[in-house]
Structure formats: C-alpha cells, structure tokens
Amino acid sequence: MTQQLNGKVALVTGASQGLGKQFAETLASAGATVVVASRRREPLEAVATEIASQGGTAYVVELDVTDVESIGSAIDGAIEQAGRIDILVNNAGLTVNRLIRDVTPEDFDLVVGTNLRGAFFVAQQVGAHMSERGDGKIINLSSILADFVMPGVSVYCMTKTAISQMTSAMALEWARKNIQVNALAPGFVDTEINAEFFDSPAGQQIMGRFPGQALQQPESLDSTLLFLASAASDHTTGRTFRVDDGQALGAFQGARSRPPPDEARK
C-alpha cells in the first residue's frame, strides 16, 4: 500500500476490535500515525503493538463517547501524544436488538448516546481543533441500515440515518475551514460481533439474499477509507458512501417477515 498519508495523524474511535481495528491498521499501513481510542485500554494496547510490529506508529487513549468530559480528555491526550489530529474516523457504535415494543428508555439512550450523541460531540471537538489549523478530514460511520430497516434494530437504523444528515450539516459549516466531512456506510461485514448471528439459520437466510451470498470482509472498505482520508477527497464533502458489495440489491426482500437478529452488528 502506498504511503499516501505520511505525516498525517488519525484518531480512530471504537478501535479495539472489528472495523475500528481494521481502519486503524489500514491508516497506519498508509503512513499515518494512529491514535486508537475506546473504553478498554488492554485491547487497544494490543492493537497499538500490532501496528508497531508492522513498522507503524500508534498511541492509545481511553475514550467513552457517551461522556463529554471523556471525549475532551481523550482528544487532549491524542494531541499531546501525536501533536495534532488530521483525520478523524468516528467509528464507535453499537446496537440493542429488540423489537420496538420491547425497547426500554435505557436501550434507547444507550444506542442514541453512543451512535449519534457520541459521534456528534467527538466530531464537534475534533472539528474545533481542525478549524484552528484550517485543514482536516472527518469520516463518520453510517451503515447500509441508514437506508433500509430490519426488525429488532430500529433505534440503530434511526441513528445511522441521522449520521448521514449530521455529516451534511458538518460539511456545510466547516467547508470554509477546509475540513471535508463524509460518511462511510458499510453493508454486513464479517467481524467477531457478527459471527454468531450469521452462523445461525436466520443469518444464513439473509446472507443467501446477497448477490455475492457472502459477508463483506473488513478490508473491502480500505480503498474508500483511504480515499476519504487522503488528499484525493479534497473536493468531496457532505457525501455518504455506501460500500456494501451490492448487498442492498437483495438483502431486504421479505425483511418484514424475518425475526430480529440475536447479535449486535455494524
């Protein structure tokens, strides 16, 4: 992979596993110094060690996106260690799998607080830092479920639709500061979070509707991520890029009749 991000510093939230880990490793392999962030320090240290073993540079900050004070402390820590933040990958997210009738206020607050409120305030604070410097790339994580719905993940779907609109609003306000804000919307990706569900009969039924009849691999998002993080996207802002291997072309036929999934997924 070419070193197209040499000299850049990237902050990746939710980087202890899954897509966040993949994003951090991809950015590091392209030459960026990476700051990995999540609530759990131990798995972050493992990610940083793996990046270092491949010749990259990574720092660790603990971050709870539901806590605005934690967001501020993590961003300060990232800047103190790495000098600045050029790229934000706003990846932290989760879901609670319940039908609408069973969603509790606590469920709602957890999903909205993490996926939307957390993403907003991380971007707000990193955007303020980027505005002072007059340069930056913000990549918010949306989902194929921003445009489609499935039983059992209604609140998750709502937050991902909102992320796309949030991305447009931030792009508009920060364009004159030379900050490009875009969203990446994956389909169903093969990660440890998804594994149990897609091994189940319900998961196999859904996967059978995909044109390729397979989950995306995490690395299938690499090229779009690098486009959005690099100078190649200097004139692209306010867009949501769905990268789903065509899954949406077949995955949602008959969705109303399917039971809710048992496991969280991106």
Residue 265: count other Cβ atoms within 10 Å of its Cβ.
24
Distances (CA, A) of 256 to 192, 207, 214, 252: 26, 16, 21, 8
Taking the alpha carbons of 126, 127, 128, 130 in that order, is the dihedral positive or negative?
positive
Active site residue 59: no
Helix (H) or strand (E) holding 62: strand 58-62
User: Are 183 and 142 contacting, i.e. CB atoms less than 8 angstroms apart?
Assistant: yes
Strand partners, 60: 36
Strand partners, 10: 34, 87
Annotated active-site residue in 23, 156, 174, 210: 156
Contacts of 118 (CB under 8 A, 6+ apart): 65, 66, 71, 92
Residue 136: count other Cβ atoms within 10 Å of its Cβ.
22
For 145-166, b/e burial (b = at least 16 CB within 10 A) is bbbbbbbbbbbbbbbbbbbbeb
262 residue type, one letter: D
Three-state DSSP state, 98: strand
User: Distance between alpha carbon 256 and the CA centroid of its chain, in Å?
Assistant: 27
Strand partners, 58: 34
Query: Which residues are tagged catalytic?
Result: 156
